[in-house]
């Protein structure tokens, strides 16, 4: 496994390869990341994983400084998973000058849900992903990049960006890896204390309940949905959570369902704080 710190180093390592398969991460790797890496190995002729905690996607009060940085453990896991190249730029390698030129994703998709509660988040994400794509894929006629469905809205924003800029990159979504109790794996799970870790699965259970209540509503769904969502929010709040949103949306555009939308076209998504930890999750209905 090779390690590239700078874009020229990365490009040199990739020069002999035809189709990079790329997994962008912020490090502190878990089995969800490693499942993407294993999938990537089947899809390209060089597997590249980036590790970069991107300041641009964090609000000033968020956890940029405390975000776990676990370089040695990450490298050991990537080596064992069969990664070929780790791209771990320093901030000055990726942002040698202030990033005044930014991506502005469609507000209809990016200013709702995560974007409502983390304003500017998807500008930060899509800007760094565009920069990472440029570092990894320039000079390549084909490539593939993999993202987890745990970050459902992020995957949609990136798909839209790639489509609208006709980048020659296939975007592949990997299923959400879960702990045995059903909690979605996430780097931020490491912030939870023992009691919170036991409680944490309740976010996914609340989403499952919302999904099954919504299916039971059948044709009455558009009228009943606000009440069902409110009930789900209150149930989590009663357990001590501070939910940002628990909602049922259309998979196609993350807008509210309309009469006639069936289960297969819907997704439940949620974000909530337990203590100081903010968790997100979703299920396709
Ligand atoms: N449980 C999971 N299953 C599958 N993919 C995942 C999972 N968790 C994260 N990913 C994916 O891994 C990639 C890198 O994510 P990231 O490094 O932010 O990890 P994370 O666990 O999502 O951390 P965070 O706590 O910041 O949300 C993203 O595409 C993300 O969707
Ligand atoms: C895609 C990403 C690596 C961009 O910083 C990040 O948002 C993440 O880890 O999901
Ligand atoms: N996995 C999403 C990255 C973030 O929360 O900043």
Instruction: Identify whether 33 is a catalytic site residue.
Output: yes
pLDDT for the residue numbered 106: 98
Nearest residue by C-alpha to atom 3 in ligand 2: 25
Q: Quick one: which atom of ligand 3 is closest to the CA of 121?
A: 6
Q: Considering every ligand atom, which ligand is closest to the CA of 189?
A: 1
DSSP string, 179-210: -TTSPBP-GGGGG--HHHHHHTTHHHHHHHHH
Q: Is the pLDDT score of 142 beyond 80? A: yes
- Tell whether 28 is in a known binding site: yes
Task: For a ligand 2 pocket test, name from 34, 40, 57 the mutation site with the most ligand atoms within 8 angstroms of its C-beta.
Answer: 57
- Tell whether 154 is in a known binding site: yes
What distances in angstroms separate CA 194 from CA 20, 69, 191, 277, one per listed residue? 40, 21, 10, 13
Q: Quick one: which atom of ligand 2 is closest to the CA of 26?
A: 9
Running DSSP on this structure, what letter comes out for residue 178? B
Question: If you measure from the C-alpha of residue 148 to the centroid of ligand 1, how many angstroms do you get, rounded to a whole number?
Answer: 6
Q: Starting from the edge strand earliest in sequence, which strands make up the sheet with 242-250, in order?
A: 242-250, 266-274, 277-284
Q: Is the pLDDT score of 22 beyond 80? A: yes
Place 20 in a pLDDT band, splitting at 50, 70 and 90. Answer: very high
Q: Is the pLDDT score of 262 beyond 90? A: no
Residue 231 neighbours by CB under 8 Å, 6+ apart: 213
Report the pLDDT averaged over residues 31-51.
Answer: 98
Question: If you measure from the C-alpha of residue 184 to the centroid of ligand 1, how many angstroms do you get, rounded to a whole number?
Answer: 9
Residue 16 neighbours by CB under 8 Å, 6+ apart: none
pTM of the full predicted structure? 0.98
Report the pLDDT averaged over residues 42-54.
Answer: 98
Report the pLDDT averaged over residues 63-87.
Answer: 97
E strands present in 205-265: 242-250
Q: Is 49 near ligand 2, meaning CB less than 6 Å away?
A: no
* Ligand 1 binding residues, C-beta < 6 A: 25-26, 32-33, 35-36, 147-148, 150-151, 174, 176-177, 184-188
121: number of Cβ within 10 Å: 24
Q: Considering every ligand atom, which ligand is closest to the CA of 64?
A: 3
Predicted ipTM of the assembly: 0.98
- In order of their start, the domains of the chain are 2-174 (3.40.50.620), 187-284 (3.30.1300.10)
Question: If you measure from the C-alpha of residue 200 to the centroid of ligand 2, how many angstroms do you get, rounded to a whole number?
Answer: 22
**CA neighbours within 13 Å on the CB side: how many for 110?**
22
Question: If you measure from the C-alpha of residue 171 to the centroid of ligand 3, how many angstroms do you get, rounded to a whole number?
Answer: 18
pLDDT for the residue numbered 261: 83
Report the pLDDT averaged over residues 222-231.
Answer: 95
- Tell whether 26 is in a known binding site: yes
Nearest residue by C-alpha to atom 5 in ligand 1: 148
**CA neighbours within 13 Å on the CB side: how many for 265?**
11
List phi, psi (to 5°) of 85.
Answer: -135, 130
């Amino acid at each position: 496994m090779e390690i590239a710190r700078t874009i020229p180093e990365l490009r040199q390592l990739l020069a002999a390869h035809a189709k990079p398969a790329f997994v962008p991460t912020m490090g502190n790797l878990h089995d969800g990341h490693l499942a993407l890496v294993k999938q990537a190995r089947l899809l390209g002729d060089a597997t590249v994983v980036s590790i970069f905690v991107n300041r641009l996607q964090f609000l000033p009060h968020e956890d940029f400084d405390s975000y776990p940085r676990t370089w040695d453990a990450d490298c050991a896991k990537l080596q064992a998973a069969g990664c070929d190249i780790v791209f771990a730029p320093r901030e000055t390698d990726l942002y040698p000058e202030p990033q005044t030129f930014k991506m502005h994703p469609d507000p209809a998709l990016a200013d709702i849900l995560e974007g409502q509660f983390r304003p500017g988040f998807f500008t930060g994400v899509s800007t760094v992903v565009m920069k990472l794509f440029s570092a990894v894929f320039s000079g390549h006629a084909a490539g593939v990049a993999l993202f987890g469905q745990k970050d459902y809205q992020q995957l949609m924003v990136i798909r839209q960006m790639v489509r609208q800029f006709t980048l020659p990159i296939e975007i592949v979504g990997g299923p959400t890896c879960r702990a045995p109790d059903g909690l979605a794996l996430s780097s931020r799970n490491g912030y939870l204390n023992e009691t919170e870790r036991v409680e944490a699965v309740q976010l996914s259970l609340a989403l499952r309940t919302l999904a099954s209540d919504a299916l039971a509503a059948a044709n009455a769904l558009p009228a009943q949905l606000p009440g069902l969502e409110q009930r789900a929010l209150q149930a989590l709040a009663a357990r001590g959570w501070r939910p940002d949103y628990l909602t049922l949306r259309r998979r196609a555009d993350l807008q509210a369902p309309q009469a006639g939308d069936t289960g297969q076209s819907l997704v439940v998504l949620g974000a909530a704080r337990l203590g100081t930890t903010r968790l997100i999750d979703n299920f396709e209905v």
